[in-house]
């Protein structure tokens, strides 16, 4: 009879019962059996892998409702100095516009050649940069007049653009986001957007908001809040019900798309493809 057999015979648990919490090892000997099992239950709970923290969920309050061109198939959106800049898609219908927020009035517009499907836009200094969907051609315009300055090329599909003050951030419909040098428009690196380890597909219109990347996920009512370093989704915003059924036209009204941010006044705007309204929203964390 070795020591363990002796201890078990005397009502004690085996000597090699222990667990590790961090770098600390806890021995559970010697204990009478009834205490051993109570202690084991407690330690089992302590030794179990910690449950992953649930990703915070948000819903919304509508702060203001503004008119939006119900013919605008919104692909890109940002806010600058009192105006929205918007790009619209579809071949033959693509344009970039400068729009007065309060009225929806188009104050400047540039039509895109019919072979291109306009996608994401963003400002950089005195320029406005635009992607196209599958043609792998981008355009650089002067921000003040929306006049074309030059073209550039990139690989893959073009979905959306935003910028963090140092880099341009680009989505292509995959879970990857690309970072570009804003001057050369050359790639600096990528992150993969993941939700609890699972890559998130269809990452669409982007906005840089308070140090995070917001992205609406194509064909859903959800916006992901993304850590720009790791690509991890740090929050989900559910915009279900934002556009009322009574504001929808069958075969016309399309999905949520378009996030803009007024950093000076901390206002978030969202709209959708051929939505008649654009909303300023406030996020509310679900408890
Ligand atoms: Ca945007």
pLDDT in tens, 52-85: 579 999 999 999 999 999 999 999 999 999 999 9
Which is nearest to 223 in space by CA: 196, 258, 264? 258
Distance, CA 259 to ligand 1 centroid (Å)? 4
CATH of the domain at 140: 2.130.10.10
Structure tokens at 42: 């407690």
- 201 three-class SS: coil
Distance, CA 23 to ligand 1 centroid (Å)? 46
* Alpha-carbon span 255 to 83, nearest angstrom: 23
* Alpha-carbon span 68 to 55, nearest angstrom: 32
- What is the pLDDT averaged over residues 237-264? 97
Supply the DSSP symbol for 46: H
Given a cut of 70, whether residue 42 has pLDDT beyond it is: no
Q: State whether 229 and 271 are in the same domain.
A: yes
pTM, 2 dp: 0.82
Distance, CA 256 to ligand 1 centroid (Å)? 12
> Does residue 200 fall inside a structural domain?
yes
Q: State whether 115 and 174 are in the same domain.
A: yes
Q: State whether 20 and 110 are in the same domain.
A: no
Given a cut of 80, whether residue 145 has pLDDT beyond it is: yes
Domain residue limits at 213:
57-285
Burial 153-188 (b: 16+ CB within 10 A, else e): ebeebbbbbbbeeebbbbbbbbbbbbbbebeebeee
Number of domains in the chain: 2
Distance, CA 55 to ligand 1 centroid (Å)? 23
Q: State whether 133 and 206 are in the same domain.
A: yes
């Amino acid at each position: 009879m070795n020591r363990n057999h002796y201890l078990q015979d005397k009502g004690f648990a085996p000597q090699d019962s222990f667990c590790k919490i961090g770098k600390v090892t806890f021995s559970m000997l010697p204990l009478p059996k009834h205490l051993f099992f109570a202690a084991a239950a407690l330690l089992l709970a302590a030794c179990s892998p910690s449950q992953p923290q649930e990703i915070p969920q948000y819903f919304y309050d509508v702060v203001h409702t503004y008119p939006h061109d119900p013919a605008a198939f919104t692909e890109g959106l940002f806010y600058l100095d009192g105006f929205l800049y918007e790009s619209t898609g579809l071949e033959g219908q693509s344009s970039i516009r400068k729009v007065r927020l309060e009225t929806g009035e188009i104050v400047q517009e540039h039509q895109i050649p019919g072979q291109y499907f306009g996608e994401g836009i963003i400002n950089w200094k005195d320029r406005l940069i635009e992607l196209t969907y599958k043609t792998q051609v981008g355009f650089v315009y002067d921000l003040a007049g929306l006049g074309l300055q030059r073209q550039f090329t990139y690989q893959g599909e073009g979905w959306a653009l935003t910028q963090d003050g140092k880099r341009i951030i680009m989505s292509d419909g995959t879970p990857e986001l690309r970072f570009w040098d804003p001057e050369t428009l050359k790639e600096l690196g990528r992150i993969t957007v993941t939700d609890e380890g699972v890559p998130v597909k269809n990452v669409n219109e982007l906005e840089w908001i308070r140090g995070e990347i917001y992205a609406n996920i194509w064909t859903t009512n959800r916006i992901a809040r993304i850590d720009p370093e790791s690509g991890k989704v740090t929050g989900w915003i559910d915009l279900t019900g934002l556009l009322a059924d009574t504001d929808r036209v069958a075969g016309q009204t399309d999905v949520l798309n378009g996030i803009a941010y007024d950093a000076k006044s901390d206002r978030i705007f969202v709209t959708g493809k051929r939505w008649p309204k654009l909303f300023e929203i406030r996020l509310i964390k679900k408890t």
